[in-house]
Amino acid sequence: MAPDSWAVREDVLAILAVRSFSTRAERVLTAVAAGKQRPTRLVVAVAAQEDPTVRAAVESTCGSVPTVTVFVGPCPNLATVVARALREVTVVEPWVWILHEDSAPTYDCLSELTAVGERSTKLGAVGPKQVGWDDPERLVEVGIRATRSGRRVPEIDVGERDQGQYDIRSDVLGIGTAGMLVRLAAAEEVGWLDTALGPFGDGLEFSRRLRAAGWRVAISPGASIQHERMSFGKGKQSYGKRRAAQLYNSLVAARALWLPFAVLGYVLGGPMRALARLLTKEPALAAQEMSAVGAMIGMLPKALAARAKLRRVRKVPASVIAGLEASGRDVRVGRRARRWARIEAETLANRPDPIVLQERRAWRASTRRWGVFAVVVAAAAGLLATIDILGSELTGGGLLRDSWTFGDLAHSAAHAWLPSGDGLAAPVDALWILLAPFIGLTGSTLGSFASAIVVSGVALSALTGFLGFRVLTNSPQVRALGALGWAFAPPLLAAVSSGHAAAVVWHVLAPLALRAAVVAWRTGSVPALGSAAILLAYMSAAAPATLAPAIVLAVVGFFTRSKGRRHWLWLPIPALAALAPTLRAALNSDAPWRLFASTPGQPVSAAPSKVGLLSFSPTSTVQAPGTLLEAVSLLAPGILLALALLALVRKRNSSSIRAGFALLGTGWAWAAACLAVPTGSIVDGNGYLSARGWAGIGLSLAFLGLLVSLVSAGDGLRTDLKERSFSFVQIGLSAATAAACAATLAFVGAWGLATLKRTPNDVAKLALAEVKSNAAPTIAVSDQKGPKRNRVLVLSTVEGGIQARLWRGNGAELHETSMVASLMPKGDAADLSLTRAIASLAGDSEDFTRTVAEHAVSVVLVKTDDSPANRALVSELDSVDGLEYVTTAEAGSFWRIRQEDHATSRLTAGKGEKWRDLPSGDVSADARIPSSDEGWRVALAERADSGWRASLDGKGLEPVRDGWRQAWRLPSGGGRLEVDFDTGLGLLVAACQAIVAVAAAVTALPLKKRRAGE
């Protein structure tokens, strides 16, 4: 038979769905007209309103094929276009060929499709092999392999070439609609495409319906169609729609018994999948995961209708289709195979030269050796200098004992109330809250963990310095020298000697923050920026002034970086979230700006001289070198400064060297500013002394800048010297290196000598001591932990009078030293109440007992002191009514208030002289009042504040004035009493902080995005 006699088929109606006439549509029309076999008729269904120019363009392009152009109006998907087109024409052909405007059939596509279709009268649909639009040798799809839940088996890799590897396929579970040849009788029996789907999932659902009705669905590997797949968009823009289509197909195919569980699982699993997408740095896909779940819920009625249609047409058992369905294991194996194939290809493509590999191994081995060397030397020096005070817990200087555990710190995060003395509307410092997870992991207390930070600060700084300076140089030797310089930096050594845990934390984390920020700046890395944000949050909690450079860096990054500029705005967010309660409470003080000169912990008395500041020591009072030790303390930093100035002439890394000097100047200015601001008071034998801001944070920044300049100058120095002939340059640089090493060792030598001798001098002094005994009597500690939450009144004689302090724990504790509390003015109603009580010792002693009982005091303690004033105080207390002398122990002499005479609980109820003790917690309380008379009140031994709330059986109580303490009017009767502080707002702030913490952790995780083809 001559070709002209069979070039036009008499049994195929082609339907081409287009949005308008375009170059793609023109290519498809041309391909149909030029095929080995052409359809009987071609219906071009335009999803738009009538347009004569489109009609003329279509008919002029496809003149050799009888063509009908129908305008079906705007349509949401292919199924709607096909349905409307079929209503516009009378179909007499037994086969219908569906074409997309981005799917051009190859020369023999139709002939191969019809050849397969005519092999059996039970073939309901035949699909072609889909190949690339611009590359016919690149495979796109050869039938659909999917699970019952609609998950496709990823069997064709991105860019895989067509080598006939899939040509043995025939019957498949499903085929795509691009180029699908449908038997008219089959479609009329089961119905055409589902209008709920499109552009994804419609072919699979239609194929499954055909299968259920007993029709076969096959692939014709000899037929090819070039498919551009415009609906996929770029990257993963279409993921949400594809996921929604998969969920829809899953619900349609699910067994009836499992349908409710499937719906519930997808609804609950959507947020978890979204979180997983966030973990892999794909926020756009996280949003699409949620939109897919929403779309599935909206399509539930249509899915139920599709299930009903499937039941109506079903003629074969489900086991027939199950034999063609893939399993979840097939999907996992396919994904794993694709992943390993890609990794292997990338490994082979990027595999370096063997000589380069050998050099890399040698470099890694050298890096490990020098890193271990730096850490071991620093650890040995630090432990040697503090070996005689090592213990489970230290005190002295900025350190106080503290028994709080993870649970106590976590509870305090939701309550902006400081349980110290008579309480204060201020949060526990953010640094202690941020350390809570590590305290929980180690099973320690805040006091012991802070002690461990101080003792290990030297070794940890060597480790972080070695890691951080990686962004400045690849030389292990230069990094090790820089790490030792950072570990032996005067600001750190002074912080260790002074027990300043916050300063140690800041110093340890600074090189890591530098590295993360530099990497983010150079590469736009989101994990690096996320790590920098977390590190700056901890550093800002240790020194709130760190917020300023964090915000400046974020703004500069936003306006100067071209890649991921919006990401830089995230940089200060974790720090702001962590400090939000502190900043809010500081606004209530007279000078909130003083917060930015404060640091957590007990204020430290340190007033360095100007020379001390220039030598980077926040505690040195040296004015001029009078001893060898003082001379060394000034000469060592002078040598490093001189070397840094010489480094300015070096061309390599000149920008880094100059940036180091910028940090140096900023740090010195920071330190000087802190010294000018009073931030708290220190208790000593003469009463309260004013304390200034700790200059060590600024000096740590200055010393970091100094080391940035020196390490940057040392980068590539050996290479540069090898290119020169031997001269005085090599001798000078060797001498400079030796001087730098000597200066570094001089720092730790001078510090170690002062600390080992335990003799304070103008250079350094060790303020730490091991906690060996209770600060409070054992019976008092038992009262404090009991249901009454009693306190200890500590009295001591000072010049001009008696000093009083309230202890809620075993002495003053670290968490009580709030930065905000230090900003609050002294001498409020609560303080005056105690002052009047002490003054009454010389007159109405009964008033003393009654007043201190209102402060929840059960024990009065006088520290051991053999001075005449102290003996007189002990004698006065012996004569006070209502006090019972217990004994004199190591902690001092102490008395108990007679419980039968006075109610000493933190929470009491009653009126007049009749009060009843009620159980309480540290902040909140939950007690049952068996009965109460008219006029009773509930009194809480905490400063009155509008944030306190009380309720009886769920009904709020009316606050009333009761001197300095918080009180409420109690109705007659009894019930369950609940007391809490700022519950709603506190929990809201804590919840927001938790959300930011999760987001920060997700941002910092170094997980890579999946590739578009995965």
In this structure, the answer to whether residues 139 and 260 fall within a common structural domain is no
- Position 711 scores a pLDDT of 93
Q: How many angstroms separate the Cα of 375 from the Cα of each of 369, 383, 497, 977?
A: 10, 12, 19, 56
- Position 1009 scores a pLDDT of 54
Pairwise pLDDT comparison (737 vs 1012), residue with the higher score: 737
- Position 318 scores a pLDDT of 85
Tell me: pLDDT of 764 over 90: no
**Beta carbons within 10 angstroms of residue 806's beta carbon:** 21
Q: Is residue 667 part of a domain?
A: yes
**For residues 802 and 781, what is the distance between their CA atoms, to the nearest angstrom?**
23
Tell me: pLDDT of 763 over 70: no
**For residues 633 and 208, what is the distance between their CA atoms, to the nearest angstrom?**
84
What mean pLDDT comes out for the span 964-983?
A: 88
Q: Give bridge partners of residue 390 from the DSSP assignment.
A: none
In this structure, the answer to whether residues 405 and 525 fall within a common structural domain is yes
Q: Give the tokens for residue 524.
A: 């736009």
In this structure, the answer to whether residues 263 and 174 fall within a common structural domain is no
What mean pLDDT comes out for the span 685-710?
A: 85
* Cis amide linkage into residue 199, ω under 30° from 0: yes
Question: Angle at the Cα of 722 (from 719 to 725), degrees rounded to 5?
Answer: 150
| Residue 758: band (very low, low, confident or very high) from pLDDT cuts 50, 70, 90 | low
In this structure, the answer to whether residues 548 and 477 fall within a common structural domain is yes
- Position 6 scores a pLDDT of 47
| Rg, Å, the chain Cα set | 39
CB half-sphere exposure, 285, CA atoms < 13 A: 19
pLDDT (tens digit per residue) in 79-90: 999 999 999 999
In this structure, the answer to whether residues 834 and 698 fall within a common structural domain is no
**For residues 878 and 872, what is the distance between their CA atoms, to the nearest angstrom?**
10
In this structure, the answer to whether residues 152 and 226 fall within a common structural domain is yes
> Edge-to-edge, what's the strand order for the sheet holding 857-862?
801-807, 791-798, 857-862, 892-897, 883-889
Nearest to residue 515, comparing CAs of 485, 483, 548? 483
In this structure, the answer to whether residues 178 and 271 fall within a common structural domain is no
Q: Is residue 732 part of a domain?
A: yes
| Residue 159: band (very low, low, confident or very high) from pLDDT cuts 50, 70, 90 | confident
| Residue 3: band (very low, low, confident or very high) from pLDDT cuts 50, 70, 90 | very low
Domain final residue pick, 874, 897, 920: 897
In this structure, the answer to whether residues 927 and 875 fall within a common structural domain is no
**Beta carbons within 10 angstroms of residue 672's beta carbon:** 14
Element (H, E) at 884: strand 883-889
Tell me: pLDDT of 359 over 90: no
Q: From start to end of 628-695, where are the E strands?
A: 678-684, 687-692
Pairwise pLDDT comparison (743 vs 136), residue with the higher score: 136
- Position 450 scores a pLDDT of 94
**Least confident range of 43-52, 183-192, 519-528, 769-778:** 769-778
Tell me: pLDDT of 754 over 80: no
Q: How many domains does the chain have?
A: 5
What mean pLDDT comes out for the span 435-463?
A: 94
- Position 370 scores a pLDDT of 95
Range of the domain at 114: 12-232
Q: Is residue 1014 part of a domain?
A: no
- Position 197 scores a pLDDT of 92
**For residues 650 and 653, what is the distance between their CA atoms, to the nearest angstrom?**
8
Tell me: pLDDT of 572 over 90: yes
pLDDT (tens digit per residue) in 168-195: 999 999 999 999 999 999 999 999 999 9
- Position 1012 scores a pLDDT of 42
Q: Is residue 337 part of a domain?
A: no
pLDDT (tens digit per residue) in 364-386: 999 999 999 999 999 998 888 77
CB half-sphere exposure, 200, CA atoms < 13 A: 21
- Position 5 scores a pLDDT of 40
Q: Is residue 353 part of a domain?
A: no
What mean pLDDT comes out for the span 845-863?
A: 89
| Residue 752: band (very low, low, confident or very high) from pLDDT cuts 50, 70, 90 | confident
Tell me: pLDDT of 794 over 70: yes
Q: How many angstroms separate the Cα of 851 from the Cα of each of 72, 141, 382, 855, 900?
A: 90, 86, 49, 7, 15
Q: Is residue 1008 part of a domain?
A: no
In this structure, the answer to whether residues 481 and 533 fall within a common structural domain is yes
**For residues 165 and 322, what is the distance between their CA atoms, to the nearest angstrom?**
24
pLDDT (tens digit per residue) in 894-925: 999 987 778 899 999 988 888 889 999 988 99
Tell me: pLDDT of 340 over 90: no
Contact 371, 476 (CB under 8 A): yes
In this structure, the answer to whether residues 735 and 801 fall within a common structural domain is no
Q: Is residue 773 part of a domain?
A: no
Tell me: pLDDT of 727 over 70: no
Contact 127, 175 (CB under 8 A): yes
Share of the chain above pLDDT 90, in %: 52
- Position 176 scores a pLDDT of 94
Query: Which of 103-117, 389-403, 410-424 tops mean pLDDT?
Result: 103-117
pLDDT (tens digit per residue) in 795-842: 988 877 888 889 998 888 999 989 998 888 778 899 999 988 888 887
What mean pLDDT comes out for the span 951-963?
A: 91
Q: Is the pTM of this model over 0.85?
A: no
What mean pLDDT comes out for the span 751-759?
A: 68
Domain final residue pick, 178, 206, 232: 232
| Residue 681: band (very low, low, confident or very high) from pLDDT cuts 50, 70, 90 | confident
Q: Give bridge partners of residue 692 from the DSSP assignment.
A: 678
- Position 730 scores a pLDDT of 67
Contact 679, 601 (CB under 8 A): no
pLDDT (tens digit per residue) in 923-946: 899 999 887 777 789 999 999 998
In this structure, the answer to whether residues 673 and 580 fall within a common structural domain is yes
- Position 690 scores a pLDDT of 74
Nearest to residue 766, comparing CAs of 387, 483, 378? 387
| Residue 729: band (very low, low, confident or very high) from pLDDT cuts 50, 70, 90 | low
DSSP state of 592: G
| Residue 721: band (very low, low, confident or very high) from pLDDT cuts 50, 70, 90 | low
**Please, what is the average pLDDT of the chain?**
88
Q: Helical H runs in 561-623?
A: 573-586, 610-614
DSSP state of 196: T
Tell me: pLDDT of 326 over 70: yes
| Residue 564: band (very low, low, confident or very high) from pLDDT cuts 50, 70, 90 | confident
**For residues 680 and 101, what is the distance between their CA atoms, to the nearest angstrom?**
76
**For residues 285 and 306, what is the distance between their CA atoms, to the nearest angstrom?**
28
Contact 518, 531 (CB under 8 A): no
Q: Is residue 94 part of a domain?
A: yes
- Position 514 scores a pLDDT of 96
**Least confident range of 179-183, 284-288, 690-694:** 690-694
In this structure, the answer to whether residues 132 and 265 fall within a common structural domain is no
Contact 390, 770 (CB under 8 A): yes
Question: CATH number for the domain including 195?
Answer: 3.90.550.60
